[in-house]
């Protein structure tokens, strides 16, 4: 693959697939700029070389055409501040206006196209749609690792229309950091898996059983394991059709000599809300009408000790319903343990999505080794799957 550092963009018009799928509040202000800031090295390099940049992205999940709340126009003011140039905006990603604006683009200038997903052809991987997007420049840069697992028009299909295809800095860093845990990691290697469902993480968990020394399982998915082992979980979230799968993972871990850790206790509540009545109970002892919404103090202590004594740490998924302050204690404690391990010399990879949000919201983004911007894409890469967005850069 051609890399951003090895390619000279002087006089080139780069069409860059970025991942600007950022959260906005009700005033259309960006509440987490992680994905935007991650693209600064790629875009800055192109402009400094004497090239121009045509940026394309999706935002949200528009149903069937343009919707104001999903318009990328809301990003223009902030992007202009971040890059120090007035970012131009094309109100349609494939219209005549966009074509003429791209053609008039001068070195050092940036053009942002409207949301690609306003056209259903984007997600369908439509070749004609991809060809229209390819008209805007003479080199294709894919810097959207977060959508690299999708064979969409802009993330993979349009690569066939370019001789020069370049891997952006975000994409390169994501792949390099994933390889640090997949390759030959320093040991002990601890993986922390959280979130609601086993079904979302089963393949990556099975692959990690061949890599890790310790596997910590928390969050909602842990209750499926507890239930499978005959414990009482009250009305906690549980995938009843995955009980055998949970037992299979436990058995495989034992066979491979992997230390498997489940929460020794849970913070439970009598309702799914922040101000519900709450109390701590031991594993497998949740009464009827109550549900586990966070890991308990004993679990925090045990998990933290394992993490802090590790040389490689990979974390994907929260330990509880961290959106509710009263049930964010476990997730925050694990974040602090990962930071401590990193300070002691460990390598730490934070999987995208909720784990990345938790780390960044706590202000720990600079205190861990790497925070991934791609949740689903990272999981699929860790599972060993081929990512269409990466394959398109190699062909």
Residues catalogued as catalytic: 35, 197, 353, 376
With residues binned 3-state (H G I as helix, E B as strand, rest as coil), the percentages for the chain, rounded to 5, are: 40, 20, 40
> How far is Cα 349 from Cα 368, in angstroms, rounded to an integer?
7
**Residue 234 backbone class (left: φ over 0; alpha: ψ -120 to 50; beta: rest):** left
What interhelical angle do 40-49 and 169-182 show, nearest 10?
A: 140
**Residue 75 backbone class (left: φ over 0; alpha: ψ -120 to 50; beta: rest):** alpha
End-to-end CA distance of the chain: 9
> How far is Cα 263 from Cα 299, in angstroms, rounded to an integer?
5
Q: Give the CA dihedral 109, 115, 118, 120, nearest 10 degrees.
A: 90
Q: What is the DSSP letter of 30?
A: B
User: Coil, strand, or helix at residue 136?
Assistant: coil
Q: Is the sign of the CA dihedral 271, 276, 279, 280 positive or negative?
A: positive
Q: Are the C-beta atoms of 198 and 246 separated by less than 8 Å?
A: yes
Chain centroid, CA 46 distance in Å = 25
The structure tokens listed for 326 are 């009263």
Q: Are the C-beta atoms of 233 and 226 separated by less than 8 Å?
A: yes
């Amino acid at each position: 693959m051609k890399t951003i550092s090895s390619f000279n963009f002087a006089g080139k018009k780069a069409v860059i697939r970025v991942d600007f799928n950022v959260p906005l509040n009700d005033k259309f202000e960006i509440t987490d700029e992680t994905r935007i800031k991650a693209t600064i090295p790629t875009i800055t390099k192109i402009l400094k070389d004497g090239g121009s940049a045509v940026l394309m992205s999706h935002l949200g999940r528009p149903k069937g055409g343009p919707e104001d709340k999903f318009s990328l126009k809301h990003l223009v003011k902030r992007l202009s501040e971040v890059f120090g140039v007035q970012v131009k905006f094309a109100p349609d990603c494939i219209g005549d206006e966009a074509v003429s604006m791209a053609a008039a683009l001068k070195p050092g200038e940036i053009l942002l196209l409207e949301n690609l997903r306003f056209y259903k052809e984007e997600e369908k991987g439509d070749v004609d749609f991809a060809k229209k997007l390819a008209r805007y420049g003479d080199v294709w840069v894919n810097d959207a690792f977060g959508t690299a697992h999708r064979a969409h028009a802009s993330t993979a299909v349009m690569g066939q229309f370019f001789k020069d295809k370049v891997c952006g800095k975000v994409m390169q860093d994501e792949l390099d950091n994933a390889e640090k845990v997949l390759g030959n990691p320093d040991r002990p290697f601890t993986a922390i898996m959280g979130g609601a469902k086993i079904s979302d993480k089963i393949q990556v968990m099975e692959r990690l059983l061949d890599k890790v020394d310790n596997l910590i399982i928390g969050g909602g998915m842990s209750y499926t394991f507890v239930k499978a082992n005959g414990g009482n979980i009250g009305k906690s979230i549980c995938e009843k059709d995955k009980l055998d799968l949970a037992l299979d993972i436990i058995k495989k871990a034992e066979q491979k000599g992997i230390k498997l850790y489940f929460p020794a206790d849970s913070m439970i509540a009598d309702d799914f809300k922040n101000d519900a009545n709450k109390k701590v109970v031991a594993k497998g002892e949740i009464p009827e009408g109550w549900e586990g919404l966070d890991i308990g103090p004993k679990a925090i202590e045990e998990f933290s000790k394992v993490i802090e004594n590790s040389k490689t740490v990979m974390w994907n998924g929260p330990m509880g319903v961290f959106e509710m302050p009263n049930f964010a204690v476990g997730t925050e404690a694990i974040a602090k343990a990962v930071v401590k391990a990193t300070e002691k010399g460990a390598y730490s990879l934070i999987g995208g999505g909720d784990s990345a949000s938790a780390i960044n919201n706590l202000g720990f983004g600079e205190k861990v080794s790497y925070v991934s911007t791609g949740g689903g894409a990272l999981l699929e890469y860790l599972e060993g799957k081929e990512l269409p967005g990466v394959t398109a850069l190699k062909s």
